[in-house]
Amino acid sequence: MSETPEVRPPVVTPVRVIIGLCLVVPFAAMLWVGSYAKTDPAFIGIPFFYWYQMLWVLISTALTMLAYKLWQRDQSARRATQGKGAAQ
């Protein structure tokens, strides 16, 4: 009856915080309309309002890919840690 409780890694890790930030930053940038609701500076004739939002499409894609890769790495590390714990 003296089972030792299973030790699990913490649910909130620094990697998971970074993943969350990667996913939240684009929303925050787009919700802060006052920062980009202007026409200058124009880029090849396109007002700032439009090219700023299109730039965030690319940035959001990169951040989402980074979050996905970090999540995959976190999950594989978690599985490896759980596998070591089960083997002992």
> Which tokens in the block code for residue 16?
């998971």
Helix (H) or strand (E) holding 16: helix 14-31
Instruction: Check if the beta carbon of residue 48 is closer than 8 Å to that of residue 40.
Output: yes
DSSP class per residue in 31-84: H-GGGT-S-PSPBTTB-HHHHHHHHHHHHHHHHHHHHHHHHHHHHHHHHHHHHH
Q: Is the residue at 81 inside a domain?
A: no
Query: How does pLDDT run across 42-70, given as a tens digit for each residue?
Result: 999 999 999 999 999 999 999 999 999 99
What's the total number of domains in the chain? 1
Report the predicted TM-score, pTM, of the whole model to 2 decimal places. Answer: 0.77
Q: Is the residue at 85 inside a domain?
A: no
> Which tokens in the block code for residue 58?
């690319």
Give the residue numbers spanning the domain of 68.
Answer: 14-74
Q: What percent of the chain has pLDDT over 70?
A: 84
* pLDDT of res. 62: 97
